[in-house]
Structure 1
């Protein structure tokens, strides 16, 4: 009986990890598909927020693009570390959902917290709040014109060496 319960718990935990992996919001929810060569089909660790339709300045687009370019290598590194610790599957991690982060094992939790702190610092260093960064992320997913502006700025920054 105990073996059956242990096996069921293991399967449930494994299934939950796999389901959460499938539900990872792309950065790119940070990048969610708007830079296919860089971010296509990549799972993400992200902050959650609701988008608000507002005028988006060129400076905000540049700040957003710089933030994404700064965050992406750290996100990839964190995902790789967590994947190794989790045995191949990566749980869904949203930086402002403390319950999800707290449910991770110690090592994975440490990697996720470190990533989230780094991402927040990068966003703020580039002149955005996390809230505004998240708004822009959701806006680019819904508005092709915003998406195009961000893609163009990402390309410009990459060609200029991310200055």
Structure 2
């Protein structure tokens, strides 16, 4: 399988990869996120890290594996809807899916099911994946770790 980086010049590869992966990760969160509620927390002196290196690697592998399917689903739904704005699709929110035309609903449900399987096949629960995705929005250290892992996986000959 061709690597995404093969399609870009060396000068813009890093910038394009960064934008693509993080926009993809954020979009993926919107598509497969579960209701995420935080209960009361006991705060200690040092908060536990949201993810360890194994989880970060699994997260990055899942994002890379989901991205082509996400782009395909988005393009298919875009064709069906036409010039209209594509609404935010959240897998566990039936209202977000039910508001789509029937064929688009099928595409969204199929994508949600495939994404859930990809996440689980990469060793994470949906809750773990969603927690990391949410944390990426506010944690620059985690964002850099995921970014570096995505770059490393893209350079690796046996990447997904």
Q: Which category describes the TM-score, using the shorter chain as reference length?
A: 0.7 to 0.9
Distance change in 2, residues 1:102/1:37 (3 Å): closer
How many residues get paired? Answer: 131
Q: Which structure is higher in RCO with an 8 Å CA cutoff and minimum separation 6?
A: 2
Q: Answer yes or no: is the 8 Å Cα contact 1:51–1:134 preserved in 2.
A: no
Q: SS where residue 87 of structure 2 aligns?
A: coil
Give distance in 1, aligned partners of 2:59 and 2:126.
10
Seen in structure 2, the aligned counterparts of structure 1 residues 95 and 54 have a Cα distance that, compared at 3 Å, is farther
| Secondary structure of the structure 2 residue equivalent to 1:119 | helix
TM value normalised by structure 1: 0.71
Unaligned stretches of 5+ in structure 2?
Answer: 1-15, 39-46
Match of 1:109 in 2: 105
Unmatched tracts of structure 1, length 5 or more: 1-32
**Secondary structure at 2:137 match in 1:** helix
**1:146 and 2:139 are equivalent in the alignment:** no
TM-score, with normalisation over the residues of structure 2?
0.73
Q: Provide Cα deviations, 1:68-108, integer angstroms capped at 9, x if missing partner.
A: 00011100000000000001331211112112112211100
Q: CA deviation at 1:35?
A: 2.2
Q: Distance in 1 between matches of 2:151 and 2:21?
A: 10
Find the counterpart in structure 1 of residue 96 from structure 2. Answer: 100
**Following TM superposition, by how much is the alpha carbon of 1:47 offset from its aligned partner in structure 2, in angstroms?**
2.0
